[in-house]
């Protein structure tokens, strides 16, 4: 899952040619910086919508983080095919145990979270199969991947409030559509996928969906307008498409990161009260 997001948001991490020399006891950390941004921004928008921060919110953040970290070594193990790598299995299993333990604890308090867990599990299964068949870079799989990571928005909301509401679902859709834009922009840097048409079609459809969410009262106006950040980014890329195709990857990553945190500021502030409260439960 994290592998496909990285190709959409940041430069691929350097691959180690000798994974067998890495000691099994050395922790694995995903080098996919783009996924950290997606996870953090989505979670914070969901937390902002609750207008409070509790111990359950903190646990949900740890759960999401460990779940993401578990996915990375397990996917690497799948890529090994017949070769078993103890380091991947040990740390993937450890992260998974921590994530599942917290997820179970949260679900015992708020059973509605099981719906979110089901969605995340399904997405991971689809991604694992895609990795096995070397189809993880397909547009469909990347869309599923972004949707799965952006489930951290309703996770934060539900773990904090104990309920799931239309605003939580709306924020999930908003985050998914926002970050999925990178699938169609970063792929412009690849000579075999240089057409602007897929990106234009995607952003047109996404804009209609966001407008519908506002029209039906799922998202507040300012929150929906936060999607305008990605439209501005896409417009800039279309305007300077030749430069974008050859620009250093660091500039591309910087553009994606700046747009992501600009989106976060607008979306979070639009649902936050004047004063944020905290609770000890």
pLDDT in the model for residue 14: 41
- In order of 24, 104, 131, 165, the CA distances from 145 in angstroms are 28, 23, 12, 22
**Nearest C-alpha neighbor of 95 from the set 116, 110, 77:** 77
Would you kindly state where each structural domain of the chain is located, as residue ranges? 2-8+23-278
For the chain, 281 residues long, the average pLDDT of each consecutive 10-residue run is 51 44 64 84 96 94 90 73 72 88 96 93 81 72 90 96 95 97 85 77 97 96 96 93 87 91 95 60 45
pLDDT of residue 192: 53
pLDDT at 72: 72
pLDDT of residue 13: 41
Structure tokens at 80: 């090994």
The structure's pTM equals: 0.85
pLDDT on residue 193: 57
């Amino acid at each position: 899952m994290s592998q496909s997001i990285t190709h959409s948001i940041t430069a691929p991490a350097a691959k180690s040619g000798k994974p067998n020399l890495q000691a099994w006891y050395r922790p694995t950390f995903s080098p996919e910086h783009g996924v950290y941004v997606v996870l953090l921004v989505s979670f914070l928008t969901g937390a902002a919508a609750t207008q409070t921060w509790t111990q359950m919110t903190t646990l949900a953040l740890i759960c999401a983080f460990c779940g993401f970290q578990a996915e990375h070594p397990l996917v690497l193990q799948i890529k090994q095919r017949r070769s078993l790598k103890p380091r991947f299995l040990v740390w993937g299993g450890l992260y998974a145990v921590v994530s599942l333990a917290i997820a179970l604890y949260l679900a015992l308090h708020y059973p509605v979270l099981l719906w979110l867990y089901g969605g995340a599990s399904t997405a991971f299964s689809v991604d694992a199969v895609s990795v096995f068949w070397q189809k993880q870079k397909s547009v469909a799989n990347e869309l599923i991947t972004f949707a799965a990571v952006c489930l951290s928005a309703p996770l934060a909301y539900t773990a904090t409030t104990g309920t799931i509401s239309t605003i939580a679902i709306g924020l999930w859709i908003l985050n998914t559509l926002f970050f999925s834009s990178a699938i169609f922009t970063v792929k412009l840097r690849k000579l075999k996928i240089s057409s602007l048409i897929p990106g234009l079609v995607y952003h047109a459809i996404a804009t209609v969906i966001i407008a519908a969410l506002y029209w039906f009262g799922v998202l507040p106006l300012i929150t929906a307008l936060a999607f305008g950040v990605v439209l501005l980014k896409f417009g800039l890329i279309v305007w300077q498409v030749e430069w974008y195709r050859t620009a250093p990857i660091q500039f591309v990553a910087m553009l994606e990161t700046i747009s992501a945190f600009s989106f976060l500021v607008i979306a979070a502030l639009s649902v936050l009260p004047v004063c944020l409260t905290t609770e000890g439960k």
